[in-house]
Amino acid sequence: MLAVGTGLTAVGNSDAHVLDAIGLGATEFEGQGVPALLSALRSGRTSVRRQKEWNSIRIVSSWALNYVGSAFTRLTMTTR
């Protein structure tokens, strides 16, 4: 994690390249709303939540399913 050893506040996100990976990481903090989030970020009171880990096989298989599934759309777009 980049924040470790840098003094930065840890945040979680999902650098999703496939639909199934959206929302797998999140930043947790006390309270609700923008003011509470900003306060937690400034004070370093956040934690990273990971829903599930993705290994290379899972990433490639999910990408392949999405790619094959969208092949029909891609083919019909190029024949117009």
pLDDT in tens, 8-34: 888 887 777 667 777 778 899 999 999
For tokens 């298989």, what's the residue?
Answer: 61
Give 32-61 pLDDT, tens digit per residue.
999 999 999 999 999 888 766 667 777 777
User: Between 57 and 80, where is the model more confident?
Assistant: 57
C-alpha distances in Å from residue 58, one per residue of 24, 45, 51, 63? 14, 32, 14, 8
Q: Do strands 25-28 and 47-50 pair parallel, antiparallel, or not at all (unpaired)?
A: antiparallel
pTM, entire model: 0.54
Which run of H or of E encompasses 58? helix 56-69
Domain residue limits, the chain: 19-78
Tell me what pLDDT residue 79 has.
59
Radius of gyration of the chain (CA): 18
